[in-house]
Amino acid sequence: MLITLAGVIGVGKSSMTQLLSELLETKAVCEPVEENPMLELFYADKKKYGFLFQIDMLSKRFELIQEAMSVKNGILDRSIYEDSIFLKQLYDEGAVDKLELDVYTKLLNRMLKELEPLPKKSPDLMIVLNCSFEEEIKRINKRAREFEKVEEGTELYEYFRDHHANYQDWMAKDLGFPKLIIDVTELDYVNNPEHRMKVLMMIVDELFHVGAISGEEHTYLSQKACLSRAF
């Protein structure tokens, strides 16, 4: 079984990945974006570093999805399937040019073809965590280092606002595999046990609905999700 998380920046994908790995007793594969030394350069000058940063992240996401698809069960906190959102936005903003967009698109398509021979060709379920733009900014600033803080009226604020809008459009697309969209604007599943149980139960029910788990597994995981209120 392969599950991949998706969603706007700061929505809580990594936290949910860890919760699901504990619930399903399987491997969590997390994107090391916070440790990427190019992140600060990207925020400082997207026109100079935008293409380099996205190529670097595409390469890392390709390696991670290869890793997740090569094991029996895996959970990935962001995947190659949503990567184009970032580069397309930079192109629309004029931070990358048409040649760079074309090079990136060809590389992405080649990488997707390379995934075809793997044992698991696509996710059993993509879980898309969504929230309001105001909540996204609140969560980003809560965990942000100084160069990541987002203030209204700044270029970075406009970047995240466009990014949020682009994600809403992307969520409507058919990716060819099951997708569960959960609005977590009012849900704090990290700190609130009731919220945690609610979200985990939604995911367990959907995994059963799409045939990723059996009826017996659904019963077992539902019981575990209820017990999640205790941790």
Alpha helices in the chain (DSSP H): 13-24, 38-44, 46-70, 84-93, 98-115, 133-143, 155-171, 193-209, 215-227
Tokens of 18: 């860890």
Q: Provide φ and ψ at 129, rounded to 5°.
A: -90, 125
Collapse the DSSP code of 176 into the 3-class scheme (helix H, G, I; strand E, B; otherwise coil) and give the result: coil
Q: Of 77, 97, 124, 169, which is the active-site residue?
A: 77
Cα–Cα distance between 7 and 5 in angstroms, integer? Answer: 7
d(CA 23, CA 4): 15
Count CA atoms within 13 Å of residue 158 on its CB side: 7
Q: Residue 211 carries which DSSP code?
A: T
In the residue annotation, 77 being an active-site residue is answered as: yes
Closest CA to 95 of 155, 161, 9, 34: 155
Please tell me what DSSP assigns to residue 34.
Answer: G
Beta bridge partners of 127: 5, 180
In angstroms, the CA 117 to CA 121 distance is 7
Residues annotated as catalytic (active site), given as ranges: 77
